[in-house]
A and B are shown apart, each in its own frame.
Chain A
Amino acid sequence: MDFYRSHVLVCGGTGCVSSGAYTIEEMFNNALVAKGLDKEVKVVRTGCFGLCEAGPICIVYPEGSFYSRVEQKDVERIVDEHLLKGRIVKDLLYVDKAATVTDIQTSISDVTFYKKQKRVALANCGVINPEIIEEYIAFDGYQALGKALTEMTPVDVINEMKKSGLRGRGGGGFPTGLKWEFTSKSPGDIKYVACNADEGDPGAFMDRSVLEGDPHCIIEAMAIAAYAIGAEKGYVYIRAEYPIAVKRLGIAIAQANEMGLLGKDILGSGFNFEMEIRLGAGAFVCGEETALIASIEGERGMPRPKPPFPAQKGIFGKPTVINNVETYAVVPQIILKGADWFTSFGTEKSPGTKVFALGGKINNTGLVEIPMGTSLKEVIFDIGGGIPDGRKFKAVQTGGPSGGCLTEAHLDTPIDFDTLTALGSMMGSGGMIVVDDSNCMVDFARFFLDFTVDESCGKCVPCREGTKRMLEMLEKITSGNGTMQDLDKLEELAYAIKDSSLCGLGQTAPNPVLSTLKYFKDEYIAHVVDKKCPAGMCQDLLSIVIVDGCIGCTACKRVCPVDAISGEVKQNHVIDQAKCIKCGACIPKCPKKVIVKQ
């Protein structure tokens, strides 16, 4: 095996690829060849490092130097200085805004963003090259499968999973071990395992990162699940919007087949298992397990009533285990290191770690994995680095379109499945969108309803008609035509939809409205009674005015397309509200910044 004195890890996750990582990788390779270093330094394309905000990211080992926002012109300097002369290029290193010491962090292990994290599901992401099976094997890959097949009976595997207390990471939080046990006990010769990779919640991308950064661990986990329940075939249902993930999983399956880790008589144990990828086609509801089954079968992806549960009657009518990507991602380590190791993190009812996708108005957008029970404050302010542009934290939305908003008062809440549900939100798949004081909560609720109305499959009336009516009421409110009765009706309808919808989509669709009504009622009232949008977001409720401090420079007057601004040179100017079309063209022109929307 070749020995390299240094490794340059280039992130190949979607975030960094979008900001040009492939070009950077190619330039590194070219520069190394040009300097004659290509036998000493190796460039590795890895999965996601999590801190997408700072992409494209490169890390140089053995030092662990964390170069962020690497541009094409930086590559040559890193090669010349760092790789040739051994001097770290300090001004290109990631600047840790949250660090208390003023020193530049020279190693990635010192960066605040990573310090509080505990990476289990993401253990290999950003460490190995996901397209090379040997790298996965070098990091204990497929050992858990070997252990399960040679040392454990299927019942042992299920018992270990039950003991670990692992709960489904896709949103429901159902105990994984129990799900496997039900399926294994269901009568039938043919059974299936399925992986739900139809990650549809806007703002959540942990499943994509796992599939892109560590696809073999999903294969290994599904093989273990198949062994436990007695299945010989597995389906991965993945969004077509994730082309890199689809490609890397395809490569991984082919490699595993070639090595005999998939196929007939795996590791000489007599156990057979094959895997197939199925693509979604842009329907959010297919993340619901019965809809996902319908889609794999080649039908419209519409849910059906449960029971029968997939454990009894799943894909092609056969008993099926369906787990989410992140759930599978921790299975090999639970089998290898034992349930007791897993339960040493997290809380009693929600053991282990959870990956969250931080997004919105937050400094460090990206993926973080934390032990359950970490407080929202630690995640948002310590790991996430707080709110940018000196703005004020207003709310955090968890659980995507099915979740709710939590406020400043909840920041000390330890995060787990039950605490979030108790507060009227939910864990969901782990999206965490932070909003600041410039975001309108009524408009935010409207945004989610707009999404659910679009994605409702139309099978049951409460969801199809109810969400539409809710959206209409919200639009009435954001356009300034709402009444106080609308607020009552909105709430009443929300509960009716929750109680009577067929599937999880409808049952949780009103959550964003209910939680904002609960915690931000004053904003709704401001829209309805005062006809004002306190955050200044709802266009229909805004007026543009010139406040104190006008110097009469006439810049605004000249740019106004409808001549709504009047005033003489060096005199105060005034905007005629009847004429103003709220285009906002005058705002950036004002040298004194006294033209405001309010």
Chain B
Amino acid sequence: MTKNFLTEENFVKLHRVIDAHKDMQGPLMPILHEAQHIFGAIPIEVQKVISEKLNTPLAEIYGVVTFYSQFTLEPKGEFLIGICLGTACYVRGAQQIIDKICELTGVAVGKTSADGKFSIEATRCIGACGLAPVLTVNEDVYGRLTLNDIPGIVQKYKGAN
């Protein structure tokens, strides 16, 4: 990722969020959600600011950030492909879908491509079991997939900017 996401503007937003949540009980999780939203990740620089302003040890904040799978230390690619590995999808062949996507994008599960275009994740059940197997690309959901659908979906985002 070449793009600088640790901009001054983002830090101003972060300060505002922390000030707004400071006085509530148990403010850390809501602040981390907002931080993840602002920066696309919660790297150590961001954690330091939260630590100072909340007067909470950095180690504790790092512990929380790394515990939850939705918080990341590094930003994800432009298109996050999430393949549901819930039971219903798995039973209906989600593993083959993952293999095919990895093959077509050249990115392994849990990794981001070198150009920052794709990140691939095996996600938890997204609750669209009626459409199994399912995958999401950012906000778009694709259901009732067969292996033949995959090249078209990948191509759609490869071409897009």
Interface residues of A (CB under 8 A from B): 14-15, 17-19, 51-53, 55, 199-205, 208, 240-242, 278-284, 295-302, 316, 357, 359-361, 365-366, 397, 400, 431, 433, 435, 439, 444, 447-448, 457
> Can you name 28 A-B pairs with beta carbons within 8 Å?
A15-B131, A18-B141, A202-B88, A205-B125, A205-B129, A208-B127, A240-B70, A242-B127, A278-B26, A281-B32, A281-B69, A282-B68, A284-B124, A298-B26, A298-B27, A298-B28, A299-B64, A300-B67, A301-B67, A302-B67, A316-B26, A359-B91, A360-B87, A360-B91, A397-B87, A431-B87, A433-B88, A447-B87
> In the complex, which residues of chain B have a beta carbon less than 8 angstroms from the beta carbon of A299?
28, 60, 64
Query: Is B43 interfacial (CB 8 A cutoff)?
Result: no
Query: Is B92 interfacial (CB 8 A cutoff)?
Result: yes
Contact with A along B21-57 (1 / 0, CB 8 A): 0000111111011000000000000000000000000
Which of A51, A52, A296 sits near B26, CB closer than 8 Å? A296
Which parts of B89-133 form the interface with A (CB within 8 Å)? 90-92, 123-132
Which parts of B125-158 form the interface with A (CB within 8 Å)? 125-132, 134, 141, 143-144
Interface residues of B (CB under 8 A from A): 25-30, 32-33, 60, 63-64, 67-71, 85-88, 90-92, 123-132, 134, 141, 143-144
> In the complex, which residues of chain A have a beta carbon less than 8 angstroms from the beta carbon of B125?
200-205
Q: Are B130 and A278 in contact (CB under 8 A)?
A: no
> In the complex, which residues of chain B have a beta carbon less than 8 angstroms from the beta carbon of A447?
87, 90
Q: Are B88 and A365 in contact (CB under 8 A)?
A: yes
Q: Are B127 and A279 in contact (CB under 8 A)?
A: no
> In the complex, which residues of chain B have a beta carbon less than 8 angstroms from the beta carbon of A400?
87
Which of A17, A19, A278, A283 sits near B30, CB closer than 8 Å? A278
A300 and B64 in contact, given A241-B124, A281-B32, A357-B129 (Cβ under 8 angstroms): yes
Q: Are A19 and B143 in contact (CB under 8 A)?
A: yes
Which of A301, A366, A433 sits near B87, CB closer than 8 Å? A433
Which of A18, A201, A357, A361 sits near B134, CB closer than 8 Å? A18
> In the complex, which residues of chain A have a beta carbon less than 8 angstroms from the beta carbon of B69?
281-283
A454 to chain B, nearest CB (A): 9
A55 and B131 in contact, given A202-B87, A298-B29, A447-B87 (Cβ under 8 angstroms): yes
> In the complex, which residues of chain B have a beta carbon less than 8 angstroms from the beta carbon of A280?
68
Q: Cα distance A30–B91 when bound, in Å?
A: 39
> In the complex, which residues of chain A have a beta carbon less than 8 angstroms from the beta carbon of B128?
14-15, 18, 52, 205
Q: Are A18 and B143 in contact (CB under 8 A)?
A: yes
A48 to chain B, nearest CB (A): 9
> In the complex, which residues of chain B have a beta carbon less than 8 angstroms from the beta carbon of A357?
129
> In the complex, which residues of chain B have a beta carbon less than 8 angstroms from the beta carbon of A366?
130
Q: Which of B67, B68, B70, B132 has the most CB of A within 10 A?
A: B67
B108 to chain A, nearest CB (A): 16
> In the complex, which residues of chain B have a beta carbon less than 8 angstroms from the beta carbon of A199?
127
Q: Are A295 and B29 in contact (CB under 8 A)?
A: yes
Which of A18, A282, A397 sits near B124, CB closer than 8 Å? A282
A361 and B130 in contact, given A278-B30, A295-B29 (Cβ under 8 angstroms): no
Q: Cα distance A447–B68 when bound, in Å?
A: 21
A365 and B129 in contact, given A203-B88, A281-B69, A296-B29 (Cβ under 8 angstroms): yes
Nearest B residue (CB) for A431: B87
> In the complex, which residues of chain B have a beta carbon less than 8 angstroms from the beta carbon of A457?
67
Q: Are A439 and B91 in contact (CB under 8 A)?
A: yes
Nearest A residue (CB) for B66: A300
Nearest A residue (CB) for B123: A241
A-B CB proximity, top 4 nearest: A52-B130, A298-B28, A359-B88, A202-B86
| 7 further A-B pairs in the complex, CB-CB below 8 A; given A359-B132, A366-B130, A444-B91 | A19-B131, A52-B130, A203-B125, A205-B129, A282-B69, A297-B26, A439-B91
> In the complex, which residues of chain A have a beta carbon less than 8 angstroms from the beta carbon of B29?
278-279, 281, 295-296, 298
Nearest B residue (CB) for A359: B88
